[in-house]
Amino acid sequence: MYEEYMADHNFPLLDDNLLGKLKPALLYLHVDELKNLCLELGIHDKGAKGMLITRILHFIKSGETITEPIVPGVSKAKRNVVYSLHPETLMLKGAYKNDLKTRLFFKQLIGEHFHFTAFGIDWLNDRWLRGDPPTYQEFAEMWKVEHTKRKQLGSTPKEEWAYINFAQNLVRVSPQATRDEIIYAWNIERAKQKVAVSELIANAREYKSR
């Protein structure tokens, strides 16, 4: 599939105007739908929602594929090694778990208000990719600072959290909207955006080399 696109098309497959419409529409797709779209385009289908969207847009712009970032060995747990929950223990990929035992441990380090957060996972993944895995104590200190900042200044949901962003925007316009009304409006908008994606991808398929 990838070779077929490369042979038959110049890139980008969509002009800037259509690319500008594709990105916000892709945000409304579920992860499994984005994975299927990646497979249709012949590109890698691994990763979180944001990465899948980035990969699709990059391919349509350039014809190049973006592979999943590789976590260096120094950030990975070794086989048959037990890593205890201790402030100075490194948080390594393959050993760290978002489970009850870990949550209770962080409550001891941070306080009863601790909970798993997206910003915490993003920070941890970034440290892993940099080859600089943090200790549990380092994570706890980061979490306390970031949680306090977000509590004081507020935080903006990630753009790929389409439902949350849609619901917040709708409530700003219609403060009296009920949960059922929000879900109904969301389903209508999501269906519309899915059609938009299908039409835009169809345009990309039809684009022939000049």
pLDDT, one tens digit per residue, over 57-71 is: 999 999 998 888 899
Q: Distance of alpha carbon 203 from its chain centroid, rounded?
A: 26
Nearest one of 136, 23, 11, 122 to 69, comparing CA atoms: 122
In a domain, 186, yes or no: no
CA-CA-CA-CA dihedral for 24, 28, 30, 36, to nearest 10: -50
Nearest one of 16, 28, 17 to 192, comparing CA atoms: 28
Q: Where residue 209 falls among pLDDT bands split at 50, 70, 90?
A: very low
pLDDT at 204 over 80: yes
Say if residue 89 is in the same domain as residue 149.
Answer: yes
Nearest one of 113, 117, 129 to 71, comparing CA atoms: 129
Residue 60 contacts residue 25 (beta carbons within 8 Å): no
Nearest one of 171, 172, 123 to 146, comparing CA atoms: 123
Residue 205: per-residue pLDDT:
79
Say if residue 61 is in the same domain as residue 84.
Answer: no
Say if residue 89 is in the same domain as residue 121.
Answer: yes
In a domain, 82, yes or no: yes
The pTM (predicted TM-score) of the whole model is 0.77
**DSSP sequence for 130-176:** TT-PPBHHHHHHHHHHHHHHHHHH--PPPTT-HHHHHHHHHHHH-TT
Say if residue 58 is in the same domain as residue 83.
Answer: no
Residue 59 contacts residue 9 (beta carbons within 8 Å): no
In a domain, 136, yes or no: yes
In a domain, 169, yes or no: no
Domain count, the chain: 2
User: Assign residue 68 a region: left if phi > 0, alpha if psi is -120 to 50, beta otherwise?
Assistant: beta
In a domain, 184, yes or no: no
pLDDT at 210 over 60: no
Distance between CA atoms of residues 49 and 127, nearest Å = 20
Nearest one of 16, 12, 9, 20 to 59, comparing CA atoms: 12
Say if residue 23 is in the same domain as residue 81.
Answer: no
Say if residue 92 is in the same domain as residue 55.
Answer: no
In a domain, 179, yes or no: no
In a domain, 182, yes or no: no
Distance between CA atoms of residues 196 and 202, nearest Å = 10
Say if residue 83 is in the same domain as residue 137.
Answer: yes
Mean per-residue pLDDT for 15-39?
95
Residue 58: per-residue pLDDT:
95
Structure-block tokens of residue 18: 């259509």
Domain housing 40: 2-68+193-206
In a domain, 110, yes or no: yes
Cα radius of gyration (the chain): 21
Helix (H) or strand (E) holding 125, with range, is helix 118-129
Say if residue 63 is in the same domain as residue 82.
Answer: no
